[in-house]
Amino acid sequence: MENEKPFDSTQGKQSVIIEIRAGAGGDEAGLFARDLYRMYSKYATGQGWGQRVLDSNQSDIGGYKEIIFELQGPGAFNQMQYEGGVHRVQRIPKTEKQGRVHTSTITIAVLKKPNKREEIIISPSDLKIDTYKASGPGGQYVNKTESAIRITHKPSGIVVTSQSERNQLQNKENAMSVLAAKLLQAQEEADLSKLTQARREQIGWAKRSEKTRTYNFPQNRITDHRIGKSWHNLEKIVDGDLEPVIKAFSKLENKE
């Protein structure tokens, strides 16, 4: 991570795991995934949060097919929790010779990392662990040893991978962090499904949306479709100035 900051073991700090995956749009979607990863990374740096990449899969032209990273610091989950969903970009790709605007999408998942009070118990017998050689863009191997890890949680079917570190033990630790966060999310969603429909909508309306946000570069505008609000100065926001967007959701949450 460009602005990577060491983690602090001090209690009381929130950790959030963010997964960004390229969707429709091919290479342009991968480049947009890279842009939003950088946006969150720069915002985290401005907040003084620790950050590290847990797993990534780069495209041939420098974008990301997928990147999973962790942010740690005061308010990290509270500020990032509404970033999940489908993010759409409208712009002219650098590879477009006719000057046409293309629409691409990425998906973002925001996972709260369990703290000690929310500890997720994972039985070793429930895990299938595979090792393999880490690969880079184009599929070439970047490490001669089988340092990459794939963990399958047999009861849930959840599969997580990590290949960002050269050390197999560190990759395993990273993969287990993602698995614990996914299991916590599954547990919280199961609890949510037991609530009344009205209460369920109040809690979950903004966290799981098919149409979350549109980044319209020709019109210099970002629109969040869940709250019907738009912001200009798109380039500034994508460069890490997320404060106006974060504040809009904080105000909405306080009203409720």
Span 118-137, pLDDT tens digits: 678 889 999 999 998 877 65
Span 40-86, pLDDT tens digits: 999 999 999 999 999 898 988 889 999 999 999 999 999 999 998 88
Counting the structural domains of the chain, the total is 2
- Between the alpha carbon of residue 47 and those of residues 67, 79, 82, 127, 243, the distances in Å are 21, 11, 17, 36, 10
**What is the model's pLDDT at position 194?**
63
200 in a domain, yes or no?
A: no
Tell me the two tokens of residue 45: 């740096």
CA proximity to 212, closest of 24, 84, 32: 84
Domain extent, residue 225, equals: 14-118+205-255
**What is the model's pLDDT at position 128?**
94
- CATH assignment at residue 48: 3.30.70.1660
**What is the model's pLDDT at position 186?**
84
| Pairing status of strand 14-22 against strand 221-224 | unpaired
**What is the model's pLDDT at position 203?**
41
| Pairing status of strand 213-216 against strand 85-91 | parallel
Span 137-146, pLDDT tens digits: 554 555 567 7
Check whether residue 109 and residue 217 sit in a common domain: yes
3 in a domain, yes or no?
A: no
Check whether residue 157 and residue 89 sit in a common domain: no
144 in a domain, yes or no?
A: yes
Check whether residue 109 and residue 221 sit in a common domain: yes
Give one DSSP letter per residue of 49-66, joined into a string: -EEEEEEEEE-TTS-EEE
Q: What is the pTM of this model?
A: 0.75
Check whether residue 24 and residue 53 sit in a common domain: yes
**pLDDT > 90? residue 241:** yes
**What is the model's pLDDT at position 4?**
58
How far, in Å, CA of 125 to CA of 204, rounded? 33
How far, in Å, CA of 2 to CA of 45, rounded? 10
Check whether residue 99 and residue 219 sit in a common domain: yes
- Band (pLDDT 50/70/90 cuts) for residue 172 is very high
Check whether residue 168 and residue 213 sit in a common domain: no
Check whether residue 128 and residue 114 sit in a common domain: no
4 in a domain, yes or no?
A: no
Do residues 222 and 214 touch, judged by C-beta distance below 8 A?
A: yes
How far, in Å, CA of 164 to CA of 144, rounded? 14
